[in-house]
Amino acid sequence: MIDYIGVFIFLFAVIDPIGTIPVFIAMTSRFTKKEKRKIALKATFYSAVILLFFLTAGEIILKAVEAPLSAFQIAGGIILFLFALSMIFGESKPDTELKIAGKGSEVAIFPLATPSIASPGAMLAVVLLTENADHTLWEQTQTSLVVLVVLLITLIFMLLSTQIHKVIGNAGAGIISRIMGMILASVAVTNVLGGITEYFQLSSNV
């Protein structure tokens, strides 16, 4: 059985539902309430498809290019760490994604589904959390359910975005995004250390 709380915190940090609120508000300001609801539902659906695809096929693709899982774990941890640093020291998630908003014709797909919700960091995270060598099919199913729960929370936040934004504002969303970055950085370092340990264990057994 997986550590539900640990996996939930990890995915909540990397998906960052709160950071999506300002992006959603900015991108849907010209739409009616009914249209906003449709956009939120579509963005959540597309995000689920993207993340579940990487959850099920990510490791298969990795094996196809003959990259050892330990190497991917180290590389993924480094990328997640850099992603976390950008959340902590760079512009906050809302600021960054509001700059690229408006370049796509379908806002539910871009920038909401990706890169706001199903970000590159989130795609890497679901692959790292469902390694076939360390997790059974049931544990991978449990992780899939946690992914869907976090996406459901993201959907609720989008539907209640106006009310939430009145309380926290862009500054509040930025602060929370940076806190999530700190959590993500610690998880990323753990992944790198775990990958290094696994690599040397395999090397010593050869």
24 residue type, one letter: F
Residues making up the chain, counted from first to last? 206
What is the DSSP track for 23-87? HHHHHTTTS-HHHHHHHHHHHHHHHHHHHHHHHHHHHHHHHHTT--HHHHHHHHHHHHHHHHHHH
Per-residue pLDDT tens digits for 158-199: 999 888 878 888 788 778 778 877 877 887 888 788 888 877
Q: Is pLDDT above 90 for 141?
A: yes
Query: For 100-122, what is the mean pLDDT?
Result: 73
pLDDT at residue 29 tops 50: yes
Q: What is the pLDDT of residue 82?
A: 82
pLDDT above 90 covers what percent of the chain?
A: 30
Domain-wise residue ranges, the chain: 4-205
**Residue 16 confidence (pLDDT) above 70:** yes
The pLDDT-based confidence of 93 (bands split at 50, 70, 90) is low
Predicted local confidence at residue 103, as pLDDT: 38
3-state secondary structure of 133: coil
Lowest mean pLDDT among 50-59, 79-88, 145-154, 158-167: 79-88
> Which residue did the predictor score with more confidence, 43 or 74?
43
Do the beta carbons of residue 180 and residue 13 sit within 8 Å? yes
Model pTM?
0.74
User: What local confidence, expressed as pLDDT, does residue 105 receive?
Assistant: 41
Average pLDDT over residues 91-109: 59
| pLDDT at residue 56 greater than cutoff 70 | yes
